[in-house]
Structure 1
Amino acid sequence: MESKQHDSNIIDIHPTVGVPEAGVTSRSLVTLLANVKRGGTRGWLAVLGSFLIHCFVFAPTEFIFGIFEHHYQIVFPGASASSIAFVGTTGSGITYLTGFLSGIVADRFGYRPTAFIGTVIMAVSLVLASFSTALWHLYACHGVLFGFGASFAYTPAIAVPSQYFSLNRGLVIGLAVSGTGMGGFVLAPMTQALIDKLGVFWTLRIIALLTFVICGLASLLIKEKKDNLLLQEQLATTTTAHQKEQTLSGSSTDYGDMTVCEKDPEQLIELKQEQAPWTRGKPSFFQSLHVLKDPQFMSLTLANVTVSIGYLVPLYYMQTYAVFIGLTPEQGALILGLANGSGFAGRVLLGLIADRVSNTKTLLFSAWATAFSVMVLWFLAKSFGTLLLMGITFNIFAGCYISLVPVAVAESFGTQTIASMIGLMYAVGGIAIWVGSPLAGFILDSTLPNLSYTPVIWTAGVSVLLAAMFVTSWAVFHWRAIRTPAACRLQAINTL
């Protein structure tokens, strides 16, 4: 009876398995509502907390840094524009570069305290930056220290939604990550208005206070699930994947002499613990490095590295390129604003599509669409309309790509150590972010006096094209893996 009850619970979690084809729309709605309900109040509070943290962690170093950059040049007239721009690049690079450390801390000591510590560091860094009297003070405070704190707040915030939602992860993570667009949309005009009235340094202090209050409260909402619940969720997800494979291929997947549907779920949990002892308790540093043996993880990591080189290039140079092709600065700013706004809506919409079609297929399509937007549309962008089309396409699909990477990690490896895995992946990508934009600027300067954006477009285009290829390799490895019993796969990884 106990085994039947567990099987019934698995069917309730995935109500679409075995349902007739009639009433597809109503069935999809029922499935969505069932999984939304299954996340529970705590799950949706965690998503809200993640959304609020996303509003602030990248704003001071990416989405609103251009406003600070202009006024920093006034405060420090002897500094070059590129040296001040490197303050924001340093902050972004440190955020990703220290992701592995913050991921291990989050998995080991809890998401809530890790995010709160990061919030405190972010607020303190902006306050210290407001007392800067030399440019290196900005590097240390607005750059390094803020990036360090943002990493501790961001890593648990991006990891926690996957633990509460097993099927609708694309939508849920899309909602959480869309906070970056909302933060830039709200904070940009507010920052400019505050600087006009109070000056840049008092604006930093006010944003520091907002960061501490909002992100501090948000960090209290992101509480990870308990280990036993995570194991049961991973079991249910694995079971459904195998059931779908059996339906498509007509074959059965075995754990020994029994299929995944026939074996007692409690025994499967024990088997997973025996095959992967590193999933019990909190992972150590070297246990977290164990995932480097998996080709799926390495493919996603290489994709993240290559896309990071070119990701910020269109965002940083879209407005100057608009002036280069004969548009006004105001038109360039409008294109950039509309492109960022489309990214906010696109992440949510494509999250819904990913849950309806397939997270793997949506991630794969987004990666190639991102490459197409740079390699083709940017080369063809010679007017307001074509450049706007390029900007909207890039922001929608690049944003979806970034949103679905945590979903891919959760589907491939489960959610118990997802913070460490994402942190390690982003840490490697942080180095690439640090290199990409300055490299594009150096290449652009090298074309003077006959300014040309063609080498810059090629640099960004090749990087995102390589990323699409690595995502394709991940998809192949992933499709092979879901045809392999989980216990056998873990055992194979352990013997590498």
Structure 2
Amino acid sequence: MRNTAVIADHTKAKLFHGWFVVGAAFVVTFIGFGSAYTFSSFVDSMQREFGASRGSVSLVFSFAGFLYFGLGVISGPLADRWGARRLTALGMALVGLGLLLAGRAQTIVQVYAAYSIGIGAGVGCAYVPTLGAVQRWFVRRRGFASGLAVSGIGVGTLVMPPLATWLIATLGWRDAYLVLGIVAVVTGISAALLIADDPRRHGTGPDGDPLGAAASTPVRTGVLIRDAVRTPRFAGLYAACLISAFGVFVPFVHLVPFAVDHQVTPALAVLLLGTIGVGSTAGRFFLGGIADRLGRDAFLIAMYAGMAVSLAIWAVAGDFWSLAAFALLFGVFYGGWVAILPAVVTDHFGGRYVGGIIGILYTSVAFGTLLGPSVAGFVFDVSHSYIIPVAISAAANVVAALIALATTRTTSPIASSPTTSTLPLG
């Protein structure tokens, strides 16, 4: 009888719906960000089609990146109210529509609209609600679950651009967009249907515990948004993210031209972005579980410090292999940062309004994404060197680490706030 009970418990654990939510989040981030990063594969085709400069074509990334994170301030609270499934399905539909419209575009401006508005808004609608849903299903393994969910971004970055390149060579760029759009709609919306906000509706507590055992960690309790944003803890997290983001996204724009300036061939230079993707995937996949054991607040500080160290390595790197070492190391710490941040937010503000709180926090990342790479480019135009931008990027993450360290000395709002709420999901 004992063995039968153990097998039954094991089967129940395997079927814990929280892991289906994590899997759905992986697919959503894979499709959303992977589709966005296919744009580089289409640049040459669109230059020839529309007679556009490479600079004008590349402008789409800053605007789209701003929307990825900036729209979370809207989609997060809406998901808290209406449910993450609806917002995620809408986002995936917009991603697919953006790809389809890009394939039918007759001007480069229409491509801007399709990618920046369609895909940017689509990822913006889906990303924060999906991450918020994952947080509510886990407590003990929250960091590990978050890491698995967002590792879809790294895998999508590795898989989708080569797939797009093959489709372009086989079908042409317009039909390639058609295929990618259909895949995004069908796969993305199917994954969204697996997303659920409250484990209690599936008969369990967080981590698959029995409902009685989960009573001490109610999944739908949390600090009200208006109270959360007024706390020193949120102010510290926001300031650290904002300052860090000014430097974090500089490599994604300027690492390839930096390498070319140092006599690395363009074909090898492009591989450096893939190396960041490899490191990022590893960081998201493995480091979240380590954070659960070592403490997620301390781990977040370590991620900022690690990004600062790796950026300092970039400043002194000069050949392909040293740049590859930087890219791999930076990717690991960047991936760990992305994985652990939502879990830290949920630790301190609870799960009830986590989507809205993460959405507001991610506006800091949106501004950093919009401004950091652009400022680095302007500094290069003046100085004809990347030393100053890279040094500033490293210093920004040192400051972020210090702010995060100071923030840990403030009281956790979930433990002290009298204004928590246990309202049911709307």
> What's the TM-score bracket when you normalise by the shorter of the two chains?
0.7 to 0.9
The CA distance in 2 between the partners of 1:408 and 1:231, in whole Å, is 23
Correspondence for 1:44 among 19, 22, 45: 19
Whole-angstrom CA distance in 2 between matches of 1:444 and 1:83: 18
Q: Which moved more, 1:388-397 or 1:357-366?
A: 357-366
Q: Which residue does the alignment assign to 1:69?
A: 43
Deviation at 1:187, TM superposition (A): 0.9
Find out whether 1:221 has 2:158 as its counterpart: no
CA drift at 1:108: 0.5
The one-letter code sitting in structure 1 at the alignment partner of 2:299 is: T
- Give the partner amino acid of 2:35: P
Q: Which moved more, 1:207-216 or 1:318-327?
A: 318-327
Per the alignment, residue 329 of structure 1 pairs with: 266
Shift of 1:429: 2.2
Cα pair distance change 1:71/1:304, threshold 3 Å: farther
**Pairing partner for 1:490 from 393, 413, 417:** 417
Asked if residue 382 in structure 1 is aligned to residue 382 in structure 2, the reply is no
Indicate conservation of the 8 Å contact 1:92/1:433, yes or no. yes
SS at match of 2:264: coil
In structure 2, what is the Cα distance between the partners aligned to 1:229 and 1:189? 39
Is 1:467 the counterpart of 2:400? The answer is yes
| 1:303 aligned residue | 240
Residue 34 of structure 2 aligns with which residue?
59
Counterpart in the other structure of 2:356: 420
In the alignment, the residues of structure 2 paired with residue 35 and residue 422 of structure 1 have an alpha-carbon distance, to the nearest angstrom, of: 33
Alignment check: 8 A CA contact 1:230 1:415 kept: no
> Which runs of no fewer than 5 residues in structure 1 stay unpaired?
1-33, 241-264, 280-286
Residue 412 of structure 2 is aligned to residue 481 of structure 1: yes
Which residue identity lines up with residue 59 of structure 1 in the other structure?
G
| Whole-angstrom distance in 2 between the partners of 1:179 and 1:206 | 20
Number of equivalent positions: 407
Distance 1:142 1:293 in 2: 35
1:428 Cα deviation after fit:
3.4
1:459 counterpart letter in structure 2: I
CA distance in structure 2 between the partners assigned to 1:493 and 1:186 by the alignment: 42
Shift of 1:228: 9.2
The 3 A distance-change label for structure 1 pair 412 and 165 is same
Give, in angstroms, the shift of residue 432 of structure 1: 2.2
Q: Is the 8 A contact 1:99 1:422 kept in 2?
A: yes
Q: Secondary structure at the match of 2:318?
A: coil
TM-score by length of 2: 0.87
Change (3 A) 1:37 1:441: farther
Structure 2, unmatched stretches of 5+, are 1-8, 422-426
SS of 2:249's partner is helix
- Corresponding residue to 2:385 among 452, 474, 478: 452
Per-residue deviation at 1:40?
5.0
Q: CA deviation at 1:392?
A: 1.0
Q: Secondary structure at the match of 2:374?
A: helix
Matched with 1:190 is 163
Whether 1:354 aligns to 2:291 is yes
Aligned-pair CA distance for 1:42: 1.1
**Contact in 2 for aligned 1:322/1:332 (Cα 8 Å):** yes
Where 1:203 maps in the other structure, the secondary structure is helix
Structure 2 matches for 1:368-379, cutoff 5 A?
Answer: 368-374=305-311, 376-379=312-315
1:94 pairs, out of 67, 74, 99, with 67
Shift in CA distance, 190/304, structure 1 to aligned 2, threshold 3 Å: same
- Mapped contact 2:284–2:338 kept (Cα < 8 A): no
1:405 equivalenced with 2:341 (yes/no):
yes
Distance 1:36-1:381 versus aligned 2 partners, 3 A rule: farther
Q: Following the alignment from structure 1 to structure 2, what is the Cα–Cα distance between the partners of residues 295 and 75?
A: 52
Partner SS, residue 104 of structure 2: coil
1:227 CA displacement: 7.5
Question: Hey, what's the Cα distance between the residues in 2 that align with 1:298 and 1:493?
Answer: 19
Change (3 A) 1:349 1:132: same
Alignment of 1:98-247 (within 5 A): 98-225=71-198
Shift of 1:327: 2.1
Structure 2: how far apart are the matches of 1:74 and 1:299?
Answer: 47
Residues 243, 368 of structure 2: 8 Å contact kept: yes
TM-fit CA distance, 1:229:
9.8
Once residues 382 and 206 of structure 1 are traced to their aligned partners in structure 2, the CA distance between those partners, rounded to angstroms, is: 40
Shift of 1:342: 2.1
C-alpha change, 1:198 and 1:422, in structure 2 (3 Å) is: same
**CA-to-aligned-CA distance 1:448-467 (integer Å, 9 cap, x gap):** xxx31112213322332332
Distance between the aligned counterparts of 2:274 and 2:112, measured in 1?
A: 27
The structure with the largest alpha-carbon Rg is: 1
Q: Which amino acid is 2:294 matched to?
A: V
User: Structure 2 CA distance, aligned partners of 1:64 and 1:342?
Assistant: 19
Structure 2 distance, partners of 1:69, 1:440, is: 22
